[in-house]
């Protein structure tokens, strides 16, 4: 189908906005990206994530029985979840809806099925994109490993693994010598592993976003640095995107503002109730940890990813009021988890390691927000990817490009921004 070229303004220069801009430029649109942060800025979630491209991430965080585990997590000061009490009034409705989202096997399975298209071939999509952008070395295959203390602990996750099987995820069980050969130096506390064979990872999420932005510029995408402060509207459409330096006239707008999307949506009278699940990373040199594939410690709920000569440990979910300073004790916990998982590794002291905190832009139903704005018919949302924004970006970009070109898809109903119309955050 021949489509008319339009001027599309993409708000957000993280991984989602950047990959969307490439998809639109490929289709012949004139594209401007405006972001409050530069594509290599550590302020964005896209900079410091764990880099996992995991088809097995169909299993949502909201699962049956989560409500039973939450008190145990919260009471453990060194656990994977923390909720600052001052944040409770602000987050209560979101948390209730989140807990309910996957509270029965039927609901959790529906979320998994809706996440599948973003994940099942994400490694191939990123490999193709990285090749196209001239940085093929930034995407690696080889699988992803999830380790358990023993087979019984793996068995306790049976519902999650059956959801993975139902969604076409392949894995291999590893025990004893086979596990130790794949993951030398791994603590004896882990005796069982599941290697998800179709997965991979990004060796530098911030570097990748930046390289893709450079590639986008080569395709003619204009990059503007600035914070969007409003939208000039008429007749239910946005005519221009306003920022401190002036305004950018447009035919269409894509909102890919990460955690900033809630505020941008408010400017359009829409409701997109994103809450930040704050996460942390520490990056250590640990040259004596030979980690061939990213590895998740199921009991400690954190993952380690090889990043060049270093390894990045990432995890933690912290709910706090917007704008509160990072609590670096959360990063210290991750460092201690690395030490516990690789006891013989020589690892720098906490004071010497690089540390980072970022905002996962999370919806209460564990699904992204992709679709046309209920209050501005030429605006499309591409946000709310929570824990899965890197891996999901190419499929998201395809949906957005179709929506901009007026190609209808029947399968995007679960991501419709209008589902939150009545939600109050």
Ligand X SMILES: Cc1cc2nc3c(=O)[nH]c(=O)nc-3n(C[C@H](O)[C@H](O)[C@H](O)COP(=O)(O)OP(=O)(O)OC[C@H]3O[C@@H](n4cnc5c(N)ncnc54)[C@H](O)[C@@H]3O)c2cc1C
Residues lying near ligand X in the complex (CB under 6 A) are found at 11-17, 34-37, 44-46, 49-52, 227-228, 256-258, 260, 264, 279-281, 314, 358, 360-361, 383, 385-391
Q: How far is the CB of 362 from ligand X (least distance, A)?
A: 8
Q: How far is the CB of 155 from ligand X (least distance, A)?
A: 25
Q: In what order do the strands lie in the sheet with 30-35?
A: 222-225, 30-35, 7-11, 252-255, 379-383, 369-372
Please say which residue, 36 or 268, places its beta carbon nearer to ligand X.
Answer: 36
Please say which residue, 51 or 371, places its beta carbon nearer to ligand X.
Answer: 51
Q: Which residues pair with 32 in a beta bridge?
A: 9, 222
Cβ–Cβ < 8 Å for 53, 197 = no
Please say which residue, 46 or 62, places its beta carbon nearer to ligand X.
Answer: 46
Distance CA 25, CA 69 (A): 46
Please say which residue, 191 or 311, places its beta carbon nearer to ligand X.
Answer: 311
Please say which residue, 378 or 392, places its beta carbon nearer to ligand X.
Answer: 392
Please say which residue, 14 or 417, places its beta carbon nearer to ligand X.
Answer: 14
Distance CA 228, CA 247 (A): 9
Q: How far is the CB of 316 from ligand X (least distance, A)?
A: 7
Please say which residue, 193 or 313, places its beta carbon nearer to ligand X.
Answer: 313
Please report the sign of the dihedral spanned by the C-alpha atoms of residue 328, residue 333, residue 334, residue 335: positive
Q: How far is the CB of 229 from ligand X (least distance, A)?
A: 7
Residue of 283, 290, 284 whose CA lies nearest to 185: 290
Q: How far is the CB of 16 from ligand X (least distance, A)?
A: 4
The residue to which tokens 């594209």 are assigned: 31
Distance CA 372, CA 405 (A): 12
Q: How far is the CB of 278 from ligand X (least distance, A)?
A: 7
Distance CA 278, CA 287 (A): 28
Q: How far is the CB of 132 from ligand X (least distance, A)?
A: 19
Please say which residue, 179 or 272, places its beta carbon nearer to ligand X.
Answer: 272
CA R_g for the chain: 21
Q: How far is the CB of 390 from ligand X (least distance, A)?
A: 3
């Amino acid at each position: 189908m021949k489509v008319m070229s339009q001027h599309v303004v993409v708000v957000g220069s993280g991984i989602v906005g950047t990959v969307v801009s490439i998809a639109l430029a490929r289709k012949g649109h004139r594209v401007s990206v405006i972001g409050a942060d530069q594509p290599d800025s550590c302020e964005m979630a896209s900079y410091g994530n764990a880099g996992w491209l995991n088809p097995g991430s169909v299993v949502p965080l909201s699962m049956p029985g989560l409500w039973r585990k939450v008190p145990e997590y919260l009471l453990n000061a060194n656990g994977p979840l923390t909720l600052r009490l001052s944040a409770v009034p602000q987050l209560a409705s979101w948390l209730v809806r989140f807990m309910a989202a996957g509270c029965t096997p039927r609901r959790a399975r529906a979320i998994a099925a809706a996440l599948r298209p973003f994940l099942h071939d994400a490694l191939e999509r990123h490999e193709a994109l990285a090749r196209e952008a001239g940085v093929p070395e930034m995407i690696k295959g080889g699988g992803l490993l999830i380790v358990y203390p023993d087979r019984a602990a793996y068995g306790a996750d049976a519902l999650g693994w059956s959801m993975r099987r139902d969604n076409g995820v392949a894995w291999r069980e590893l025990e004893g010598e086979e596990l130790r050969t794949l993951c030398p130096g791994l603590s004896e506390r882990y005796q069982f592993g599941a290697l998800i064979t179709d997965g991979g990872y990004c060796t530098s999420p911030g570097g990748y976003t930046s390289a893709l932005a450079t590639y986008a510029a080569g395709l003619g995408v204009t990059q503007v640095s600035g914070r969007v402060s409003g939208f000039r509207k008429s007749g239910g459409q946005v005519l221009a995107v306003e920022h401190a330096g002036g305004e950018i006239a447009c035919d269409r707008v894509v909102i890919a503002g990460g955690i900033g999307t809630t505020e941008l949506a408010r400017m359009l009278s829409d409701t997109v109730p994103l809450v930040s699940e704050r996460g942390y990373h520490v990056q250590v040199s640990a040259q004596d940890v030979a980690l061939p594939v990213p590895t998740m410690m199921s009991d400690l709920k954190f993952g380690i990813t090889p990043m060049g000569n270093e390894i990045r440990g990432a995890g933690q979910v912290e709910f706090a009021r917007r704008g509160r300073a990072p609590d670096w004790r959360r990063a210290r916990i991750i460092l201690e988890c690395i030490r516990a998982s690789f006891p013989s590794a020589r690892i720098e002291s906490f004071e010497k390691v690089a540390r980072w905190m970022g905002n996962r832009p999370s919806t209460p139903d564990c699904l992204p927000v992709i679709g046309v704005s209920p209050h501005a018919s030429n605006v499309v949302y591409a946000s709310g990817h929570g824990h899965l924004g890197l891996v999901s970006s190419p499929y998201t970009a395809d949906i957005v490009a179709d929506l901009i070109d007026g190609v209808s898809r029947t399968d995007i109903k679960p991501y419709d921004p209008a589902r939150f119309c009545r939600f109050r955050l």
